[in-house]
Amino acid sequence: MRNTNKRLRDIISNGGMARVMAAHDPLSAMLVEEAGFDGIWASGFEFSAAMGLADVSLVSMTEHLDNMRRMASRTHLPIVADIDTGYGNAINVLYTVEQFEAAGAAAVVIEDKMFPKVTSLIAGGRQDLVSIAEHQGKIEAAVSARKDPDFMIIARVEALIAGRGEEEALARAHAYEQAGADMILIHSKQKTPDEIESFINAWTGSVPIVIVPTAYPQMTEARAKALGKIGILIYGNHAIRAAVTGMQKVFAQIIEDGGIERVNDTIIPVAEIFRLQRMDQIKENEKRYLR
């Protein structure tokens, strides 16, 4: 059984800032680990995109869970699971948290939007929030459902995304901390870090903050650490964007050239895929066991 819960919590408890990279399948999760990140973000946005679907609650809890379980089976890193709104009300959250913890997640993030949600960074998207009391109930349910006290419940505050301002964002964050959240994820779609930095500077709670600086890339790791309150920095969608970038370029080159001769030297050799598939281990096992 994977035992990554304490490893992630220890980074944060010791005053560190965990660097967590998004992944959408086992292969991208393996590459996250090889690159040297501290954890994997089992991104709902990335998995939806990998399925060719919008991130608007079209992908079921079972599909997300199965994908996360497959990632967990191929890596040793802690996985922070994006469970959107918890796939229903607080009763659904009880089951969801139980299942994701059993599947190998080290933490779950639950956002305070209404179901079905709309992805946060889309221009003009519907961003309806549940009441503070309702989300407190979800957080309390999540805390009660976990088996391992090191398994973290992260409450995601979408008030800034919804345009409701810092005052409401802080009120929601404090309420979720009171409900038992281990960390607060504060999200913003502003193009600079100012809004997030203002929130963090105003935050007087005792639990650390999680940020996802997708919209404001000026927020470097050094700048985030200097704020003194950030426990996790998530790179939220860079795996799927990198994959699409690479495929679009290679596919266009093949069409332009009418063949693969020129592009062949710009992509990794098949031997690298064999390495990632651990074919050396397969061959060794064949020698040992096939008779």
Q: Which of 55, 82, 112, 182 is catalytic?
A: 55
Structure tokens at 238: 């860079």
Interacting residues of 272 by C-beta distance below 8 A, sequence separation 6+: none
Q: For the chain, where are the E strands, in sequence order? A: 18-23, 39-42, 79-82, 107-111, 152-157, 183-186, 209-211, 230-235
Residue 28 near residue 70, CB atoms below 8 Å: no
**Distance (Å, rounded) from C-alpha 224 to C-alpha 211?**
9
- 280 counts as catalytic: no
Backbone angles phi, psi at 234, to 5 degrees: -105, 125
Interacting residues of 267 by C-beta distance below 8 A, sequence separation 6+: 246, 250
Active site residues: 55
